[in-house]
Amino acid sequence: MQQSAGPAMEGAQRGRLFARRPLCLAALGALLGLLLYAALERAQALPALLVLPALTLAAAVYRRGALAALVPACLVCLSALLQCPSAPAAAEGLLTGRIAEPPAAERGRQVLLLDAAAVDGEPVRGRVELTVYGAAPLSYGQRVAVQASLRTAEPDWLFYDRYRGVACRARAQGLPGVAPGRRDAYGLLLAVRAAISERIGLLFPAGAQAEAARGILLGGGVADMDEGTEAQFRAVGIAHLLAVSGLHVGVLAGALMAPLRLVRGLWARFFTLAALLLLYAALTAFTPSVLRACVMVLCAQPAMPLRRRRDLMSALSLAFVLVLLARPFALWNAGFELSFLAVGGLALLAKPLARRFAALGSRGAAALSSGVAVVVAGLPATARFFGALPLSSLAANLLVLPLVPLFFVPALLALGLGAVWLPLGRAVAVLPQAALELILRVAEAGGALALTVPAPGTAGYLLFLLWMLLSSPLCLAQRRRKLLLSGGAALLTALLWSW
């Protein structure tokens, strides 16, 4: 959201190190609260979380300014406690449940996500990921019953499973019992999504183009692509394009703002935009990355009707807190980290970098600084999930980022027009086809050289975020002191990277 004018001058006069941003403080509280939750759970000391409400009560009496961080910390921890799946005690038994998502078929097996699951009649708190071999093709909504072996996820995958609501994993050979399920609203949305996926296949050439278009437009990312295409995007450092982020939906919102000027009233425009973005999310069957991106964009929009100054970092912080309140375990999801770090890099690093590239002119400096900011900000997530930093990443992002608007909005327009008259949709699809072909060429050309980077530890990750803050306009220190602080943070980040 927005802050009052003149924070830098105000902060300098009062001797503050950072500009006042209550929403950024709330995001920091939510982040540290969830990290504390994870650390205490690994130590089997979750009752120690009671220290958070105790500190909150003390802050309400003695230091109210700390409430901006402590209240979100308490709320996200409470949300995590309430949503945390619980694995059944049994190691095997009769597993029953309903297929909650379209099955993924690969190499002679099907991977199912079951909700309303039970083992030997005992309900499971959470979903079960069931891998079945030798079964006939299955579909969303069917009810299954099978004798299965169960296990919990390995520690490295535990929080990813919790993000998906998975309590345990199971394996079975064949499915003796399958019953048809009832159609519901989500099933209808999945059918619409499948129809749109087929329409994309009619508008884009079969193969890598159609797969990449499905992955980007429908928010499924790598789930809608084969391993080869996804590996190329990852190897060249542009895998963040495959998870619909605030960058993608921001482009869509910007394109919608021109016709929305015909709508009278600032709040009427905001709610119309929200309805259109909600429609887009519904057409993708509310894919998590699309919902997350819509929240990120909508958090920045009330600035004008509230007559506040636009502040990307505060809007991003609000979206961060809202997403974690709804889905606390998203913090350990690759798409979540990549999308928030990419937009955070633009908010914190783009302006300082643009000043250093001023000799290139305003447009050249803006393009180069945006590309560098996205690549640098995404370093910890890239190292954490992929284990390597492509040396061609900066050049690839500089080439690809300007192509995103040329693909995303025209492709959606082609889909809409193609639903009315296919030849018209194909005519409009020429532009997004060309843009996507260039993106794929970049993905194919790069990625030969990569620098192996160890995954950051919690301390290294937090120090990296501190370095970003100290290097940003939010840091109000004098130039020399700011250089010393950011340089010290960078040195500590390098020394303690793996901690």
Confidence of residue 5 (pLDDT cuts 50, 70, 90): very low
Both 110 and 146 in one domain: the answer is: yes
Q: pLDDT tens-digit profile of 172-206?
A: 988 778 888 888 899 999 899 889 999 999 999 98
Report the number of distinct structural domains present in the chain.
Answer: 3
How wide is the angle at C-alpha 432 spanned by C-alphas 429 and 435, nearest 5°? 150
User: Do residue 288 and residue 345 come from a single domain?
Assistant: yes
**pLDDT number for residue 292:** 80
Q: Looking at the structure, do residues 61 and 97 belong to the same domain, yes or no?
A: no
Q: What is the CATH number of the domain that holds 109?
A: 2.40.50
Give the Cα separation of 451 and 237 in Å (integer).
Answer: 11
Note whether 269 and 292 are within 8 A (CB). Answer: no
Q: Are residues 426 and 450 in the same domain?
A: yes
Q: Is residue 112 part of a domain?
A: yes
In this structure, are 22 and 55 located in the same domain?
yes
Rounded CA-CA distance 160/135 in Å is 26
How far apart, in Å, are the Cα atoms of 193 and each of 196, 218, 229, 305?
5, 8, 21, 34
As given in the structure block, the two tokens for residue 276 are 């259109």
In whole angstroms, give the CA distance from residue 5 to residue 3.
7
pTM here is 0.85
- 405 falls within a domain: yes
C-beta of residue 486 within 8 angstroms of C-beta of residue 470: yes
Residues 283 and 389 in one domain: yes
Same domain, 226 and 250: yes
Range of the domain at 123: 92-179
Express each pLDDT in 345-379 by its tens digit.
Answer: 989 999 999 988 888 888 888 878 888 888 889 88
Do residues 110 and 172 touch, judged by C-beta distance below 8 A? Answer: no
Token reading at 30:
């939510």
Tell me the backbone φ, ψ of residue 183, rounded to 5 degrees.
-75, 140
Amino acid letter, residue 215? G
Which of 404, 407, 396 minimizes the C-alpha distance to 434?
Answer: 407
Q: Which residues contact 229 (CB under 8 A, 6 or more apart)?
A: 208, 211, 212, 440, 443
In a shared domain, residues 377 and 444: yes
Tokens 């086809």 belong to which residue? 433
pLDDT tens track for 102-150: 998 877 899 999 999 999 999 999 999 999 998 788 999 999 999 999 9
Q: Are residues 102 and 48 in the same domain?
A: no
Does residue 220 register a pLDDT over 90?
Answer: no
Q: How far apart are CA 140 and CA 99, in angstroms?
A: 5
Of the candidates 149, 193, 154, which has an alpha carbon nearest to the alpha carbon of residue 171?
149
* Structure tokens given for 177: 């019992």
Instruction: Output the pLDDT for position 450.
Output: 60
CB atoms within 10 A of CB 254: 12
Of the pLDDT bands very low, low, confident and very high (cuts 50, 70, 90), residue 243 is: low
pLDDT tens digits, one per residue of 272-304: 999 999 988 888 878 777 888 888 888 888 876
Question: Same domain, yes or no, for 355 and 389?
Answer: yes
